[in-house]
Chains A and B, each alone.
Chain A
Amino acid sequence: MEFQIIWFILWGVLWAVYFMLDGFDFGAGILQSFLGKNEAEKGMLLRTIGPVWNGNEVWLITAGGATFAAFPTTYALMFSYLYSPLLIILFSLIVRGVALEFRAKADSASWKRGWDAAIFLGSFLPALLFGVAFGNIFHGLPMDAAGYHGTLFSLLNPYGLLTGGLFVLLFIVHGALWMGIKTEGELSSRTLRVANTAWYFLLITAVAFLVYTEFATNLYANYLAAPLFLIVPLIAVLSLTGIKIFFVKGKYTAAFLASCSTIVMVTFTGVIGLYPNLIPSSIDPNYSLTIFNSSSSIYTLTIMTVVALIFVPIIIAYQIWTYRVFKHKVTADDVMEGKELY
């Protein structure tokens, strides 16, 4: 297989895993201050993501780094064309990261309220804007020989916003399920109820997205050419349904895993549809950025493949191990014990 294709798949994997992992952090960040009735509950909800969010976020850094190393032209143009939305994502992630670490480091109520707002915005805005960015990438960006012809506001087109809404709802369901299985008692059932309600909104948005995609993008062309790949969107739909089925049966961990699968498969539904483009041009296909015209040299791709083959399995192994260390449910005692930390 050609190295470009290997890196295209890896590029998709990095984004998919990033959304799957940081997705529930975003969901938790969006919901925590609404779901927690008092400081102790908020503390517990945040504690569910406390030990893991840092490691989850690195998948984004790696996705960015991999884009730079494997497809430098795409990295350069994507980041400079999408300057303003990326800047907002960047500020949001900075604020979220600091808020999660600093919130518990002083006791006053206004201090905590301020950081709660920061956690909400720092979670909601990236969730929305990653969706908007990917919606626009699926649709294609207005670029030709003269460069880029879009603005921040042209990105906020109906399809971009719909994809943004889809991402927000995916992450809300995902985060609510995560917090639900990591907490106990009334707090847990309250959180799970939110997941259930949000799921209906997610279903409607997902259907709208699948239909609108036919009109707004070329994603389905690849599936017509190679129908075998339809298995990916099919699994996405089954997983989305699975969330509800498992939920009704009271199997919340299974529902969360179905939500993981939904996010990964939705991402790959888009990625497969993009091939061989990384960013299609919406005005002149000759200026689409493909994995072939924007990639690094074969030499660099070979080196990076070796690095990835060695280290990605190691990373996955120790990351799974730390998830197992923190597999227990978060209790009020946990929060009291490490009061200073979270």
Chain B
Amino acid sequence: MDVLTLSRLQFAVTAAYHFIFVPLTLGLSIMVAYMETRYVRTNDELYLKMTKFWGKLFLINFALGVVTGITMEFQFGMNWAEYSKYVGDIFGAPLAIEATVAFFLESVFIGLWIFGWSKVSKKVHALSIWLVAIATNLSALWILLANGWMQKPVGYVLRNGRAEMVDFMAMVTNWYGWSKFFHTVLSGYVVAAFFVMGISAYHILRKNELAFFRRSFKMAALFGLVSSLLVFATGDFHAVEVAKTQPTKFAAMEVVWNTQKAAPYNLIVVPDTRDERNSVELLSIPNGLSLLAFHNPDAEVRGLKDFPKEDRPPVMPTFLSFRLMVGFGMLFMLLSFLGWIFSRKDRLKSRTLFLKIMLYSLPLPYIAAQLGWIVAEVGRQPWIVYGLLRTSDAVSKSIDTIQVVASLVGFTLVYGLLAIVDIYLLTKNAKKGPDNDLSSIMKQART
């Protein structure tokens, strides 16, 4: 393999790994902040216990999210120097702003939250986790504005042999980035909701700490229901944005080979990439695809054959990931709706099958989030910046195969080990359940 392939593989591995931890951080920070706020408001000790228990799992996950994020910032320079030179004038800004505006806030106040139980008032302590939650979400915004620019470059001119920023506000208001931001953070909330529901289901099945886990489940079910509905809605308007600005990606997502007006939506499709056609198209909804793509039943959807082969993304991974992600999205709405209904009427305990399903559904939103990124990043190929710079022109010139093999092996080993440790710690602490020694907890929480 050459430096380009290895660097792409390394970026895929490290980005996918980073995004195992980020979505849970995005959602669980908000849930823990809400729990602690309820505790401050009501003085109900159950909320304090919830803050502590879910907060601990949050912290185990948070640590890996932070350290694997550093890799991402370094890698643009290390492996993608030509990219960094070419677009750094505009792409560097959101990254630097992310560190300045969001990452500082998050990192400083997480320290205060972990160690400040007896050092600051209850209100300030709760405020610090809210600041962490806001900062992580703000961090996602700047990163996704940066990624949004790679998907739909705006506000630049080509000058001095590179892309130079001429309109900062165009980048900041790039709707592609914003719609992706909403879709992405909401998917993180779904991950967190299913995480909390899954672990709660485990304990409810064992009749363990029922009051604690029923309340946790109920809160997560509502959070999950609202979030999964919104993920679907934002997914819809994000898809419109993709259809408008990235016709090749959209065509690959829906395997449209030939440009057509009033395109139907096929529920069942089997693509034949060799002959550039679909060998099976079943259960067609007339005008469905045009409606999905442009919210207009007669709109023209461009097909892959309209574009030269070297400008098309890999079709199968984009198509399959998209279909699976959408299917998962529907499942999440259904499951969190059922969870909400059952937990509202306090009927969870007797629904053992449902609880088992919820336990084993815990990893599914993680998978859906990964699939979403495959659609976004594989679907953008062969471009690193859509329509502007090819991935093959972006890789560093000064590095050699041996270096990248060594780093890829290093990442795989280090990340693999950390994954084992992380899963061990999460499982251990999740199974243990909440700490019932309220005296020790109360000693920490200054009244």
Interface members, chain B 333-389 (any A CB < 8 Å): none
Q: Which of B104, B117, B166, B429 has the most CB of A within 10 A?
A: B104
Asked if B67 is an interface residue, CB under 8 A from chain A, the answer is yes
Is B73 a contact of A95 with CB atoms below 8 Å? no
- Measured between beta carbons, the chain A residues less than 8 angstroms from B114 are 50-51, 338, 341
* A58-B99, A69-B92, A79-B78 known; A93-B164 Cβ under 8 A: no
Is A147 a contact of B397 with CB atoms below 8 Å? yes
Is A102 a contact of B111 with CB atoms below 8 Å? no
Counted as pairs of residues, one from A and one from B, with CB atoms less than 8 Å apart, the total is 228
How far, in whole Å, are A60 and B100 apart by their CA atoms in the complex?
A: 11
Asked if A285 is an interface residue, CB under 8 A from chain B, the answer is no
How far, in whole Å, are A50 and B281 apart by their CA atoms in the complex?
A: 59
Is B78 a contact of A80 with CB atoms below 8 Å? yes
Is B108 a contact of A61 with CB atoms below 8 Å? no
Q: Smallest distance from the beta carbon of B59 to chain A beta carbons, Å?
A: 7
Is A338 a contact of B117 with CB atoms below 8 Å? yes
Q: Mark A224-268, 1 if CB is under 8 A from B, else 0.
A: 000000000000000000000000000000000000000000000
How far, in whole Å, are A180 and B28 apart by their CA atoms in the complex?
A: 37
Residue among B70, B92, B166 making CB contact with A68, cutoff 8 Å: B92
- Measured between beta carbons, the chain A residues less than 8 angstroms from B104 are 55, 58, 62, 311, 315, 319
- Measured between beta carbons, the chain A residues less than 8 angstroms from B92 are 65, 68-70, 72, 75, 296, 300
Is B70 a contact of A94 with CB atoms below 8 Å? yes
Asked if B283 is an interface residue, CB under 8 A from chain A, the answer is no
- Measured between beta carbons, the chain B residues less than 8 angstroms from A69 are 88, 92-93, 95-97
Is A341 a contact of B165 with CB atoms below 8 Å? no
Number of chain A residues close to chain B: CB under 8 A: 65
* A62-B99, A91-B414, A97-B63 known; A297-B165 Cβ under 8 A: yes
How far, in whole Å, are A312 and B397 apart by their CA atoms in the complex?
A: 35
How far, in whole Å, are A307 and B95 apart by their CA atoms in the complex?
A: 12
- Measured between beta carbons, the chain B residues less than 8 angstroms from A101 are 59-60, 63
Is B85 a contact of A84 with CB atoms below 8 Å? no
Asked if B254 is an interface residue, CB under 8 A from chain A, the answer is no
- Measured between beta carbons, the chain B residues less than 8 angstroms from A54 are 66, 107-108, 110-111
How far, in whole Å, are A78 and B396 apart by their CA atoms in the complex?
A: 11
Residue among A72, A77, A79, A337 making CB contact with B89, cutoff 8 Å: A72
Q: Is the interface of A mostly helix, strand, loop or mixed?
A: helix
Is B429 a contact of A105 with CB atoms below 8 Å? yes
* A80-B398, A83-B78, A338-B444 known; A300-B90 Cβ under 8 A: yes
Is A299 a contact of B166 with CB atoms below 8 Å? yes
- Measured between beta carbons, the chain A residues less than 8 angstroms from B431 are none
Residue among A86, A106, A319 making CB contact with B425, cutoff 8 Å: A106
Q: Is the interface of B mostly helix, strand, loop or mixed?
A: helix
How far, in whole Å, are A297 and B162 apart by their CA atoms in the complex?
A: 10
Residue of B nearest to A325 (CB): B119
Residue among A66, A102, A297 making CB contact with B164, cutoff 8 Å: A297
Q: Smallest distance from the beta carbon of A191 to chain B beta carbons, Å?
A: 20
Asked if A153 is an interface residue, CB under 8 A from chain B, the answer is no
- Measured between beta carbons, the chain B residues less than 8 angstroms from A83 are 78, 396, 398-399, 403, 407
Asked if A221 is an interface residue, CB under 8 A from chain B, the answer is no
Asked if B288 is an interface residue, CB under 8 A from chain A, the answer is no
How far, in whole Å, are A102 and B399 apart by their CA atoms in the complex?
A: 34
Residue of A nearest to B63 (CB): A101
Is B88 a contact of A76 with CB atoms below 8 Å? yes
Interface members, chain B 187-240 (any A CB < 8 Å): none
Q: Mark A272-289, 1 if CB is under 8 A from B, else 0.
A: 000000000000000000
Q: List 22 A-B contacts (CB under 8 A).
A: A51-B114, A60-B70, A65-B92, A68-B91, A73-B88, A75-B84, A76-B82, A76-B396, A79-B76, A79-B84, A80-B399, A101-B59, A105-B60, A106-B425, A296-B165, A304-B97, A307-B100, A311-B104, A312-B100, A319-B108, A338-B444, A341-B115
Known A65-B97, A80-B396, A105-B60; further 7 A-B contacts with Cβ < 8 A: A62-B100, A62-B103, A65-B95, A93-B67, A318-B105, A318-B108, A337-B443
Where the two chains meet, the residues of A that have a C-beta atom closer than 8 Å to any C-beta of B are 47, 50-55, 57-58, 60-62, 64-66, 68-70, 72-73, 75-81, 83-84, 86-87, 90-91, 93-95, 97-98, 101-102, 105-106, 147-148, 296-297, 299-300, 303-304, 307-308, 311-312, 315, 318-319, 322, 325-326, 337-338, 340-342
The 10 A-B residue pairs with the shortest CB-CB distance in the complex, in nearest-first order: A72-B88, A79-B77, A69-B92, A65-B96, A68-B92, A101-B63, A76-B84, A69-B96, A55-B108, A80-B81
